[in-house]
Amino acid sequence: MNEVKLSKRLETVAGYITKGGVLADIGSDHAYLPCYAWQKGLIAGAIAGEVVEGPFQSAKSTVAEYGLGEHIAVRKGDGLAVMSPGEADVITICGMGGALIRDILERGKDKLAGVTRLVLQPNIGAHNIREWLIANGWELQAEEMMKEDGKIYEILVAERGDSEAPYRSRREHGILFGPFLLAEKSEVFAEKWRHELQNMKRIQQQLQQAADTEETLQKRQEVAAKIAMMEEVLA
């Protein structure tokens, strides 16, 4: 059997999959991640979930190509609707915006019974996920930031626990930047937030030219506060 080759991003995600459990990979695309996890002996079985017909068919083809139909169930459905409570031990959701990942978790909260770990890889808006984890009793265990093909990705790993624990020192900063990422302050981290700071300053200039409505004044305050936080962190 040929070995599944993963991108550096997905290989990093695979490194956080709890060994020996059942994986539910939501938005599985070609189902490369669950196939790889099975080949590496990381999981006892998997569900590959896809809501879009094209990727759903691609996932089925990949699983068939590697002869893993007995071990990986490919299911079509929206978010966590593809699984039942208690069916999976670990959930991976990768390659989406943080707001969409948050919404998938929120809509499928009743399916999280028995799930012990979430491995989430947002392309943007990771703060949305951190806020959801805090509100729903999931404690952030690890974070990683990486760059591949010119794009920067964040990986968040959470388990049930004291969801406030990672944010006790600097809550607002922790939610925006990530408590573990903020402690490490890697070069990739600095690159990402330098870029975000430039974007935020452009927004600030646009807001300064806008009419002085109540909404505009509030947005100016919010943007100014974020700029101050970014400048402090990058100093």
The residue range of the domain holding 213 is: 188-234
Phi-psi region of 150 (alpha: psi -120 to 50; beta: other; left: phi over 0): left
In this structure, are 80 and 160 located in the same domain?
A: yes
Residue 1 in this model has a pLDDT that exceeds 70: no
Q: What is the mean pLDDT of residues 51-63?
A: 95
pLDDT-based confidence at residue 170 (cuts at 50, 70, 90): confident
Q: What is the mean pLDDT of residues 190-205?
A: 96
In this structure, are 214 and 151 located in the same domain?
A: no
**What burial letters (b/e) apply to 119-139, b meaning 16+ CB within 10 Å?**
bbbbbebbbbbbebbbeeebb
Q: How many domains does the chain have?
A: 2
Kindly tell me the burial class for residue 68, based on how many C-beta atoms sit within 10 Å of its own C-beta (0-12, 13-18, 19 or more): buried
pLDDT tens-digit series, residues 207-226: 999 888 999 999 999 999 99
pTM attached to this predicted model? 0.94
Rounded Cα–Cα distance for residues 172 and 159 (Å): 21
In this structure, are 137 and 218 located in the same domain?
A: no
In this structure, are 70 and 12 located in the same domain?
A: yes
How many residues comprise the chain?
235
Q: What is the mean pLDDT of residues 186-214?
A: 94
Angle between helices 214-234 and 187-209 (to 10 degrees): 150
In this structure, are 222 and 119 located in the same domain?
A: no
Residue 76 in this model has a pLDDT that exceeds 90: yes
| Pair 17, 160: CB distance under 8 Å | no
Q: What is the mean pLDDT of residues 179-201?
A: 96
Name the one residue in this structure whose structure tokens are 């010119």: 150
